[in-house]
Each structure stands twice: as structure tokens, then as C-alpha cells.
Amino acid sequence: MSQASVADRPFALSAEDEARLAKRHEAGVRRATRERRGVVVSVDVKIDPATDVSAVVLASREPSERFFCLEQPDRGGFALAALGTAAAVTAGGADRFARVAQWCRDLGRGALSDGHGPRFVGGFAFAPDGGATREWREFAAAQMVLPQVAFWRRDGEAWMTLTEVVSAESADGGAGLAVRAGALRLAPMPLLDPDPVEKAEVHSAAPPEHFEAAITRATERIRAGDLRKVVLAREVRVHAPGPIDPAPVYDGLRTVFPSCYCYLVGKGDSAFVGASPELLVRRDGNRAQTVALAGTRRRSADPAVDRFLGEQLLSSEKDREEQAIVTRRIERVLDPVSVWVAAADEPVLVKVHNVQHLGTPIRAQLADPLPTVELAGMLHPTPAVGGEPADKALPLIPALEGLDRGWYAGPVGWTDLAEDGEFCVALRCALLRGDAAHLYAGEGIVGDSEPASELEANEAKLQALLPLLT
């Protein structure tokens, strides 16, 4: 291949990789014919670890196809970016996690792949049938995609995985995937306009007083003994002078919040973007990890003030109890399926750009390697985003909030053919559709929560995204 063609087609397959793909495609067709079902076929190709894989996906996406980006830059430069659909599943209802896990297992059975292999990517709404309103139409209550193209980067290595599901009738020898790889573009992320001619308008979906009144009603229920904690969210809308490009918004989040799980899931003119400090679950074989996160204080540019705010959070009885509720629930959920569960003795401060939280790392040795998707379903929603007890708190949430959370506070992440994977909790997020952005942030309410203080904390969380959209 000439120098010019390498520059024009940076991800085009070599002759050797094309031959490897064709051979694997033929083997997949033979298996599909023999077993009378679709067979997953994929190849891994090593790429330059300096590649901005999310930028490649966002520059290369077609108008109607699905795309997915997940990064945690501080964790060895971790990035997973995916494009296109080789196969997909959607589901709703209380058993959606189990159904999705079974679909991934069935489709991945007998896959022909390299050691790195394909990954399923996607997420789940907060509620079993959430995302029913018009703005969430591209986001099912449960939605996992096996992408055609996936990039993986971590600890100085990077790979491109090309994937298709072949049948007995498949006859192109993998040529379609090779063409797709050759069409991928290496381009920088677009920049935000620092001084737009027309300014965006910001409005609360409901007056702030509505949020404070909901908190008051919640604390009355808690003090009456009906429940111990409930999380209430608020929606703020941004109306821009033109269509909002999710790429520079996502780029801004991963730059400002390198310790967070920065995610972007989309199709067409709809995109769900955010930067979450909260891991729901990570599974590696029989080992599972999670973090109980609750309690919030703002950050300060003054180190002394910032330390004071952190110490105030660590010594707050209200925040410590809110955080302990989350820890105890996670331990109770994991205990029946684990050999042992270990939580840190004391919470630590989890500091991100604009706020800080109390966090307790929790590890477990699983008795059996339950699929990551099923573990996510067992843990979701934790009291950090739902409430305690769940059977009392969850019905109260829509009644007091008056909004459809959609994917806000739901799990977003990935799983592989071995059923390992990780999901974060979709916090500090916005749903982008055309020229509108719907921002969501929530607060954990306990008996002595003060409406004005909770509103102030909520405004601080919204500042994760508002500056990038206005």
C-alpha cells in the first residue's frame, strides 16, 4: 500500500488481515450452516495506541447508525469506542437484564474470534419500562448492541475489532467489513464555539420551588417512618440556537473529568452523554467490584477551602448515614451470590472537577461467575439513585419528580464473550436531541435533608454539563 493510501485510509486492512478475515468468515459460514443459526465472526487488528478512538468513531459515523464511547482517562487511558450494528437486542420489563444477558450468551456461543474479541455495548433505563416519552425514543428500556467496529485502548495498547454475524447464506467473505475499516476517518474532535453569536437559553423543566417542595414531602414521609431514603432528580433544559454536536461536549467532559466514566451513546440526532463518578459493577472472572457513592459537597479552587469542604462532608452525620445505607444494601445483594464480600471500613473522598462525594469501595469473590449484565440488574438501582427500602422508595420517585428519567441513573457499559465487563451509573448527564438538551441531576433525601441545601448541591452537579452547552 502506498504512503498516500495509508494516509487516506489509516485503518484499511493489510492483505494479511484481509485473508485472515476471509478465512474466518468461511469458517463461520460452515458453522452457521451446520448449526442453523447466526455465528459471530471477528478479527482483531492492532492500532497505534495514540489514536483518539472516540474521535475516529464520531468522525466516521453515518447519520442513522448507532455509536458508543466510554472512557476513563485516568485509568491507564482506558477507552472503548464502537460504531455500527452487527446485532442488537432491546427489552423491557422487570426481567430485562436476564433477557439481555441470555441473548448475549446465546449469540456469543461458538463465536470465532481472536483473543481480544468483540464486546456488547449499551445501557438500561432507570425504570423497567423507562424512556417512554418522545425524547427518549432512540433509547429502549434495555438496549445492547454488538457493533461492527470497536476500538479498545488501555495501558499503552490499542486494538480495532471488526465483527459480523454470518449465516449459511453469507457470501461476501468479509469484504463488507474490510470496506468499512477502509472508510474509517482519522480526524480530531471538533471544538466548542467559545463565543457563539446567539446564546443558548436555560430553563428548569419545572420551577426550582417544585424540587424543594418534593424534598419537603419526601422528608415528611421519611420522618413518619415510611422509608429511610429516596433520591429525587431534577431536569433542566437548554435550547441552543442550532443543532448540538455531541462530539465537542463529550470531548469537554473527558478533558475536565478524567477520573470519571465519560460516556456517549447515540443514534442519528439523539445522544446521551455524561461523566459519572460511580461504578455500578465490574466483573473479571469470579471477582466483582463496585463503589457505594453518596453525599455531595462542592469543590473550591482554594485548597484550604476545598479541604474544609471535604472534612465537613466526612464528618456530616447526614451524609455518612446516606452513604452507609448504600453500602449496606450492596453488601446484602452481593452476599447470597458470593464466597465473601468486603467493604472498606471507612468511606473516602471521591473528588471530581466540581464536586466531591463519600465513597466506599466494595469487593466480592463470586461463588459462580454470574454474567456482568445480571450483576448489574441485581444491584440496580442502588439506594444512591433510588432509595431504601426500594419497594417504598421507587414508586414514590415518579410521583414526586414528575419526569421520565429515561436512561438517567441507569447502567451504561459493556460486556464481552466471557461475560466479563463493567457498567457505570449514568449520572451528570444530558440527552441531546437536535437543538435541545435535557440535563438531569439528583439528590439523596433523608430525614434531615434541607430543601435549600439540596437545591444548591443539585445546581453544583448540573455545572458538570451546563458550561459546555451554554
User: What tens digit of pLDDT does each residue of 48-59 get?
Assistant: 999 999 999 999
Q: What is the structure's pLDDT at 2?
A: 47
Q: What is the structure's pLDDT at 371?
A: 97
User: Are 232 and 443 contacting, i.e. CB atoms less than 8 angstroms apart?
Assistant: yes
Q: Where in the chain do CATH 3.60.120.10 domains reside?
A: 201-239+278-423+438-469
Q: What is the structure's pLDDT at 299?
A: 79
Omega of the bond prior to 369 within 30 degrees of 0, cis?
no
Stated as kind and residue range, the H or E segment containing 210 is helix 208-223
Q: What's the CA gap between 40 and 29, in Å, rounded?
A: 10
**Three-class SS of residue 321?**
helix
Average pLDDT, the chain: 91
Does 42 score more than 80 pLDDT? yes
- Give which of 364, 386, 383, 379 is closest to 423, Cα–Cα: 379
Q: What is the structure's pLDDT at 320?
A: 86
399-431 pLDDT tens trace = 999 899 999 999 999 999 999 999 999 998 999
DSSP string, 106-139: HHHTT-B--SS--EEEEEE-SSTT---SGGGTTS
Mean per-residue pLDDT for 233-256?
A: 93
User: Are 192 and 252 contacting, i.e. CB atoms less than 8 angstroms apart?
Assistant: yes
Can you tell me which residue has the cell 446465546?
A: 106
Better-scored residue on pLDDT, 4 or 319: 319
- Give which of 52, 120, 41, 63 is closest to 373, Cα–Cα: 120
- 14 secondary structure, DSSP code: P
Count of CA atoms in the C-beta half-sphere (13 A) of 338: 19
Stated as kind and residue range, the H or E segment containing 322 is helix 317-334
Q: Please count the other Cβ atoms lying within 10 Å of the Cβ belonging to residue 180.
A: 18
Q: What is the structure's pLDDT at 4?
A: 44
Q: What's the CA gap between 86 and 1, in Å, rounded?
A: 28
When pLDDT is cut at 50, 70 and 90, the band that residue 194 belongs to is low
Q: What is the structure's pLDDT at 293?
A: 84
Q: What's the CA gap between 353 and 252, in Å, rounded?
A: 12
Does 434 score more than 50 pLDDT? yes
Assigned fold of 201-239+278-423+438-469: Anthranilate synthase (3.60.120)
When pLDDT is cut at 50, 70 and 90, the band that residue 192 belongs to is confident
Which residue type, as a one-letter code, is found at position 148?
Q
Q: Which residues are catalytic?
A: 229, 278
Does 393 score more than 80 pLDDT? yes
Does 5 score more than 70 pLDDT? no
